[in-house]
Structure 1
Amino acid sequence: MSIFEEEILMLIQCTPRAGAQWPDFDTISEKDSHALAAAFQRASPFPHLVMDHLFPSPMLQAMAKEFDTAAPSDWREYHSGLQRKRGTPPGGHLPPTVQDYFNVVYSGPFVRLLSRITGIDDLIPDPALYGGGMHEVDAGGSFEIHMDFATHPRTRLVNRLALITYFNETWTSEDGGALELWELEPPRCAATVVPHFGRTVIMEQSARAAHGHPQPIREGRQRRSTVAYFYTNGLAARDANDTLATTYVPHAGYSRRQKAELYLRRFAPPMIVKGLKAINKAARTRHTRGRGSKL
């Protein structure tokens, strides 16, 4: 399988606001915006853009430290045969610098920049960060190839863009966890993005935007990122079914357990799937408590 490293674009014309620690994204020139838009549209296998140094390193360093100080109650676990990670829940508490980051990317100047790059007008932020926020994957963890939810479950707005920033120092391809972008017919990896520290990905959300990080994280490493979604009002704007759930992509690399889980997700009634998840969660909780009692 051929995997191509994506082009890295550096925004060097973005100047800081007076007295501020974050850049003023309104200062991006029209020429630079056009260049970024062209790169976004020509990217394969679907529109996306990979950038280094979009956000100032001191702020990202502060955010990385806040991953260590987040309380266990600030996290929600996602463990199944198709994904193994943790993330902050919608409307949950965020550390101060992380909250500043989301305030910036959901601000008028940054949303206007996203519209210029992607050609999508009237983008709408989600302050509750449904599906977004802080994400963390421990050794052995992964997330199978999938398309993200098409519709916000509360607002019913259409999911159009994902913004991902990584916080992984000295990361290499051998550490696993690279973001893979897949073609669907036939299913195959067409591009990969190593999650280096400070790297940011802007990615289209659609019925063809298959992605994930199926390669497990190497022992002794931990993959960290922040994710923000952007929406528009109107289902006609997106070439996808009206689905509230993640849609996984069948491919030859699935284990028997993953195939069984995928079958259940596709054909079993939602209440049965929900019940199985609850049983699995309870079993993990008992296992964790049992380990704790032996320490």
Structure 2
Amino acid sequence: MIDRFLKPEAAQRLADAFPAASDDVGWDQYAAAGLEVKMGTSHEARFPEPLRAAIHQLNAGPFVRFVERLSGIDHLLPDPHLAGGGLHLTRAGGLLGVHADFNWHERLQAHRRLNLLIYLGRDWQPGYGGELELWDTAAKARVHTIEPLFNRAVLFTTRSDSFHGHPTPWSAPPGVERRSIALYYYTSARPEEELRAPHNTLYKGYHFD
């Protein structure tokens, strides 16, 4: 977790450019009650220019090398397709149940290894919900909670037992939304003990207890 991740002026510029729910940026609507209620878009060509430029930098060599040093995972591959990533927006009642992410990128033919989230929603307060929860590898207990504060970045490894989510529904006042950039990084191989058959997102309470 890194607070004040971006230079203040850069964070403000990205927040100002972040599209509204009504903007034509190719929003996908996720509405699986109790599991996933949010909006997301990976249609980069429709992104406002500041966000498109920022994502290019976060997927470029200098930043990828920084993430390799920080994580200790070498030979990382960025995802130019933004599969499952890009821009995320949560409005009133939105949530993301505890889950393990998909583990295999078919187009890249690569293993998903790291998630990077950068929060760009302003004015979060306790009681609004939407905190990121990290759970143990058995998905039995929450072990860490992270508030989605403006200009906070979270980088964490993802495996088939890296359970996380923001299951507390978003309940901020109208106009205050949970907004984030989500980027994922991959490798062509992964440790043998982490290998699992390719799977899509696995939700607690639906795919497993």
Report the identity percentage: 32
Match of 1:60 in 2: 11
- Counterparts of 1:1-295 in structure 2 under 5 Å? 50-68=1-19, 71-81=23-33, 82-89=35-42, 93-185=46-138, 187-220=140-173, 221-236=176-191, 239-250=194-205, 262=206
**Secondary structure of 1:173's aligned partner:** coil
Pairwise CA distance, 1:153 = 2.7
Match of 1:25 in 2: none
Pairwise CA distance, 1:162 = 0.6
The higher-RCO structure (CA 8 Å, 6+ apart) is: 2
**Secondary structure of 1:161's aligned partner:** strand
> Unaligned 5+ residue runs, structure 2?
none
State the Cα deviation string for residues 245-269 of structure 1 (Å, max 9, x = none): 101123xxxxxxxxxxx2xx57xxx
The count of aligned residue pairs is: 204
Pairwise CA distance, 1:218 = 0.7
State the Cα deviation string for residues 75-112 of structure 1 (Å, max 9, x = none): 11111021000100355522111111111111211111
**Secondary structure of 2:182's aligned partner:** strand
Task: Give TM-score scaled by structure 2 length.
Answer: 0.90
Q: Partner amino acid for 2:11?
A: L
More strand by share: 2
Q: Distance in 2 between matches of 1:242 and 1:95?
A: 37
> Unaligned 5+ residue runs, structure 1?
1-49, 251-261, 267-295
Q: Partner amino acid for 1:56?
A: K
State the Cα deviation string for residues 106-157 of structure 1 (Å, max 9, x = none): 1211111111111111100111111110000001100000011100132221
Q: Distance in 2 between matches of 1:68 and 1:150?
A: 29
Backbone CA RMSD of aligned residues: 1.9
Task: Give TM-score scaled by structure 1 length.
Answer: 0.65
Match of 1:257 in 2: none
Q: Partner amino acid for 1:228?
A: L
